[in-house]
Amino acid sequence: MTNSQETMQTSQFKDMRTGLIAFGVIQIIFGGFCALLIPFMILGMLVSTISGKGTTAPIAPMNARMMVPGVLFYAILAIWFIWMGIGSIKARRWARALILVSSSLWLIGGIGVLIFMLLLMPRMYDQMAKNTQMPPAAVLVMKSMMIGFMTVFYVVIPAVFVLFYKSKNVKATCEFRDPQVRWTDKCPLPVLAVSFIFGFWAASMLFMGCHRWTIPFFGFILSGVTGGAVVLIVMFISAYLAWGTYRLDIKAWWCSLFWIIIWALSTAITFSRVSISDLYEKMSFSRQQIDMIKQSGVLQTPIMAVPFVLWSLGLLAYLLYIRRYFVQPPGQQNLLQQTSI
């Protein structure tokens, strides 16, 4: 394609190539930052372990098994951000779709986390001031800094990503510079978001192995071999739902609806009979760590129940919203009828 032909075609929309490169570089920087956090986490574990030896102070040293999920999480984040950054720089259609979906979920989840922390923060900082005898002014400064950081990280940054990659000009730029039909084009983005959630759910089940395969199940806290069997079942069901919803299989949609209801009932029944601290004990958290969490108020069942209830209701409502996309047999959807979040 000659320069004149390219100029003629790009004149139909605003070429966002420069913006895609800039946002791609930002994501690569995020990935590098996540990668740098891994050695700091390992160093923190070593320091806490050494400082916890030979002392009677209420120190809760981290162990390697409990550190593994955090290390893997940041490693996955590093790979994700770098991969998406490269895709954005190259103006790939799949990169735009995945960044838009993940940023939308990041924004929704971030708003929920921010609200949860705002409800929990007064108790946390009051307890901190009581234990450390910090002056009220210092506590206020720390609280303001934390709220500011969380607002930027959990709300502002993902909102900017969503606004940019949702732009029609960005979409047109990626389609022009990457004309090949990608796998993300075969599924409407609202449905791809649900597939993304179930895929993440399935992958996250593997982290349970670092906590003795502990899982709440209809009034009981299972662990060990029994818990591992249930975790394996949950992982395979979630993987099926991720694949089935991506293929717009109506059976997968119905299974998703019932799965969320069953999971919500199981969790509600379990924590109406046992306390959340029992769950942490089964996960091999030390008594010192559980006591520290209790002081923050995180283990209060009503507080913990609110985000879970809202998450379940929100996902059920969203499944009902995307029902309209599950109208044809899998693989026969018109690729031209793509929608964006």
Give the DSSP letter of residue 189.
H
pLDDT: which is higher, 219 or 303: 219
The token pair that represents 38 in the structure block: 């891994």
- Per-residue pLDDT, 133: 67
Res. 299: pLDDT tops 60: no
Q: Could you list the residue range(s) of the whole structural domain that residue 218 is in?
A: 187-341
pLDDT: which is higher, 5 or 98: 98
SS3 216: strand
Give the DSSP letter of residue 337.
-
Residues 6 or more apart whose CB falls under 8 angstroms from that of 325 comprise 188, 190, 191, 248, 333
Query: Per the domain annotation, does 125 fall within a domain?
Result: no
Per the confidence metrics, is the pTM higher than 0.85? no
Mean pLDDT of the region 106-113:
90
Query: Per the domain annotation, does 33 fall within a domain?
Result: no
Distance CA 341, CA 161 (A): 12
- Per-residue pLDDT, 334: 47
Query: Per the domain annotation, does 177 fall within a domain?
Result: no
φ, ψ (nearest 5 deg) of residue 215: -155, 135
Query: Per the domain annotation, does 327 fall within a domain?
Result: yes
CB-hemisphere CA count at 13 Å for 230? 17
Query: Per the domain annotation, does 95 fall within a domain?
Result: no
Residue with structure tokens 């108790």?
123
- Per-residue pLDDT, 337: 45
pLDDT in tens, 76-109: 999 999 999 999 999 999 999 999 999 999 999 8
Mean of the per-residue pLDDT values of the chain? 82
Res. 131: pLDDT tops 90: no
Distance CA 23, CA 158 (A): 12
In percent, the amount of the chain with pLDDT more than 90 equals 47
In total, how many domains does the chain have?
1
Mean pLDDT of the region 11-19:
87
Mean pLDDT of the region 158-184:
94
Residue with structure tokens 């307890």?
127
Query: Per the domain annotation, does 117 fall within a domain?
Result: no
Mean pLDDT of the region 63-77:
80
Query: Per the domain annotation, does 88 fall within a domain?
Result: no
- Per-residue pLDDT, 61: 53
Query: Per the domain annotation, does 245 fall within a domain?
Result: yes
- Per-residue pLDDT, 127: 64
pLDDT in tens, 178-236: 999 999 999 999 999 999 999 999 998 988 888 889 888 998 889 889 999 999 999 99
Angle at 73 between CA 68 and CA 76, to 5 degrees: 125
Which among 49-53, 157-161, 304-308 has the top mean pLDDT? 157-161
Res. 42: pLDDT tops 90: no
- Per-residue pLDDT, 329: 55
